[in-house]
Amino acid sequence: MEQSPEQWLAMMQERADEMVRQSEQIQQQMQEMAETASDPDGAVSVTVGANGALKDLRIDQRAMRRSAADLQATILQLAGQAQAAVAGRVVSAVEPVAGAAGMDFLRSQLPAEPEPEGAANRRPDPDDHDDEPPQTFLR
């Protein structure tokens, strides 16, 4: 049985309304989404939002006894861990509505897995002339 133009338009409007509802629901989830990573002794914690941006950084007095390089490495490592964790939650929230192509794009924007502990303490390669600015995993 063939649809009338009115039936087809009503069906398309229904689909569009559902997509808007799902989009609004995902946006709400993203606004509320955050992930925190803390070092083992709890002296440093980093919280990032759904877009990977830093939302909070807590450093207590115990952390201030560390060297600047160690504190820097800890903060960067924790930020990477929190970003990776929140990225997984973003994927879980978006996957049901994004479809295969949308998920492929989203995964291509996610940050790389954080480096193993201690890897952040390596000195930068002086021959590395990467002029690209850091990227967030969502645009």
> Which range, 6-20, 33-47, 86-100, 117-131, has the best average confidence (pLDDT)?
33-47
In this structure, is residue 120 part of a structural domain? Answer: no
Confidence band for 111, pLDDT divided at 50, 70 and 90:
low
Does any domain span residue 18? no
* pLDDT value, residue 120: 47
Please check whether residue 134 is in contact with residue 51, taking contact to mean a CB–CB distance below 8 angstroms: no
CA-CA distance, 86 to 116, in Å (whole number)? 18
**Would residue 60 count as lying in a domain?**
yes
Q: What CATH number is given to the structural domain containing 109?
A: 3.30.1310.10
* Alpha-carbon span 74 to 63, nearest angstrom: 10
Classify residue 103: in a domain, yes or no. yes
Select from 32, 35, 37 the least CA-distant residue to 48.
35
pLDDT at residue 33 greater than cutoff 60: yes
Q: Is the pLDDT of residue 76 over 60?
A: yes
User: Which domain, by its residues, includes 99?
Assistant: 32-115
* In-domain check, residue 121: no
Q: Is residue 122 assigned to a domain? A: no
Domain count, the chain: 1
Evaluate whether residue 94 is within a structural domain: yes
pLDDT of 50 higher than 60 = yes
41 is a domain residue: yes
Q: What is the pTM of this model?
A: 0.62
Residue with tokens 């490592």: 77
